[in-house]
Amino acid sequence: DTGVSQDPRHKITKRGQNVTFRCDPISEHNRLYWYRQTLGQGPEFLTYFQNEAQLEKSRLLSDRFSAERPKGSFSTLEIQRTEQGDSAMYLCASSLVLVRQPNTEAFFGQGTRLTVV
Amino acid sequence: SQQGEEDPQALSIQEGENATMNCSYKTSINNLQWYRQNSGRGLVHLILIRSNEREKHSGRLRVTLDTSKKSSSLLITASRAADTASYFCGADKIIFGKGTRLHILP
């Protein structure tokens, strides 16, 4: 396992289409995070999972966005009816957080760059 | 994120010099992390400092944390061309600010 893997790396879609991104975290990492980053900005937190449970969603995550982590391993982020404003880099990260060791680093994937035309 | 920010926004220094960048935040934290991001790539974790620690070293990196001032600093010593990147700080699941864009001049 070489790290967090995201697929695809690039996606160009027409406005109004649905897109789905996949993230494979580091094996045995129980937490998985999604972020969105636009040019010149820092990553903005979207949502995170503890195993298969989605524990928090940012206000940035509109009704058109949905994320799942059905088996507590890989996760998908779907954007329905894409808009030009959805164009961004979507980053996934994972970490192993234990009760006795809550302070652990997060490892990021290379991201999926979405362009909505 | 409005919960914190890095300073300065941009920094250019000569190769071999030291680079210092700062992070200020507004929330209570359990730990603070620094990340590096090369253009168009994901973030790479550099170092984590816990809220009960004041200073931490890792190779050419030195991080300080002052929870009373809600601030942290990252010092990169003997900078190299490969250090050219954007640097972000964050706590828990939040990445603060727009980062510091560091450019190492040859």
Is pLDDT of A1 > 70?
no
The pLDDT assigned to B1 comes to 53
Q: Provide the 3-class DSSP secondary structure of residue A34.
A: strand
Is pLDDT of A104 > 80?
no
Interface of B with A (CB under 8 A): 1, 30-31, 33, 35, 40-45, 48, 50, 88, 93-99
One-letter amino acid identity for B73? S
Is pLDDT of B77 > 90?
yes
Is pLDDT of A28 > 70?
yes
Mutate which of A108, A113, A114, A115 to test chain B, going by most B C-beta atoms within 10 A?
A108
Structure tokens, B25:
């935040």
